[in-house]
Structure 1
Amino acid sequence: MNVTRAHNVVDAGLPGGRVLLFAHGFGCDQNMWRYVAPHFESSHRVVLFDHVGAGGAQAPYDAERYASLEGYADDVVRICTELDLHDVVFVGHSVSAMIGVLAHLRAPEVFAALVLVGPSPRYINDDGYTGGFDRADIDDMLAALSSNYLGWSSAIAPAIMGTPDSPELGAELTQSFCRADPDIAERFARATFLSDNRADLPLVSVPTLVMQSRDDMIAPMAVGQYVAAAIPGSSLAVLDSSGHCPNLSAPDEVIRAMETFFAEGR
């Protein structure tokens, strides 16, 4: 199966322009970038895709391959290789931020910069590290997800979106979660929330923008600050937004932060 069909790749924008490769987070698909990606089509080649099990992706799911984020990173490298993408700016939301870091470490010659929106290298608190959750919290969440995925989605998605004044966004994220295959979603959740990529951050060797919402229950401020401090030479942009999905709730701020990053020659 070719990569376009396998990952529902959409290739738009300026032919020959610098490549922006957008990657969505857990429970989502490429539609979550619809307020951001089109803005750059007049100046960049814009490529979007769906992770295995999401959106219109038709790639077969292999439980062993996708037991960790490395399998998803390999998919990103495959997309870049088969589409002959170079000088890529990888724009990753949530768990895809770390997937982008891993893809860069696998194929450093492909990536020119990283834009990490709401990144977290580890969701579980550790000695000297605030990830936002105790291990018991994560275990309880995974158990709830496993026993009643639709109920869990309906309860957690609006809280993740974090926009009580715009309930339609929470409803959209709920619907997105509910469209996912529950078995794949559970395995992806385990790969996401039990990951620890802190040791990978100092190895990043390209300009990096870290975007952090001022109020984010999934990746709190301390996590964004940690990521920015750990990646050499990175920039931290604190968005005046709440929730974990500023690409939907505050797209203008996301666009401005990216434009500032690019204007600085990144």
Structure 2
Amino acid sequence: MNWKGVLDFLKEKKFGLDRKELVEAETSPVVPDDFCAEEVVYEMNDMGEREAIERFVPPTRSTATRKPPARTKGHSRGSMVDPRTNRAITFASAHEWRCALILLASPEIAEVYDQPPAITYVDAEGKKVKHTPDYLAVSRSGKKCAIAVKPSRRVEKSGIVDTLDRIKPILGDYADDIILLTELQLTHERATNAESALQAHSCRVQADCDRVAVIMSGINGEVNAYDVAKAFGDFPRGMNAIWCLVYDGIVKLANPALMLADHPFVFRVLQATSVAA
């Protein structure tokens, strides 16, 4: 066992998690609700009869106005799928990847656009130039925020702060605000939590989510997520359901700046509304 494994084991023991108990209590896997990602459509068969057919619905293409740059030693690129819109979202760096994860997992965000249309503004020399935000996030209330992602070491050299200051007064209907995010906000811990919520949602079993919500309904304040999962009776399914409720905004992490493994405490949000896709 390497040092990371030892640390994980010590964390689990600290918060009352026993791996031996989990193995002994392991049950048969349950098929997620949307395992096949299918939808039912109706078509006419050869007999002229209306027939229900299940078919796979692939993600739609990204709406990005430009492609990510080619991959190099210092940069990465890729895409993921927004579960709410079933649309590909691209990223061109590790920081953008973390930003996309956090946006897609946020219950406050309804839609995310990567590489939205460029904004024309006047630079310090009086020339008209264009800037393309990395993301445009739309909240559930309809507010729009354009986002520029940069590593902090490149902020000053890139002049991005001056660029955003010149763009803000002329945003108009494009967005309500434009902000800069660096690794100081897009931390490894926040991105890891977001990724866990997204992965859990992709393996969602709504009956499990409803059961965990009932278990937590009688608890006021913070509670150890591991205890809730053990009370569920099937630890992996219980934890997956907890992450699904985090994705919905029904449950929140007590300290979202830390990974759940480091601070496994959560609380139920009163009168929360599910936004599950």
Fold conserved between structures, TM > 0.5: no
The structure where helix makes up a greater share of residues is 1
Q: TM-score of the superposition, structure 1-length normalised?
A: 0.24
Give 1 or 2 for the bigger CA radius of gyration: 2
Q: TM-score of the superposition, structure 2-length normalised?
A: 0.23
Higher RCO, Cα 8 Å, sep 6+: 1
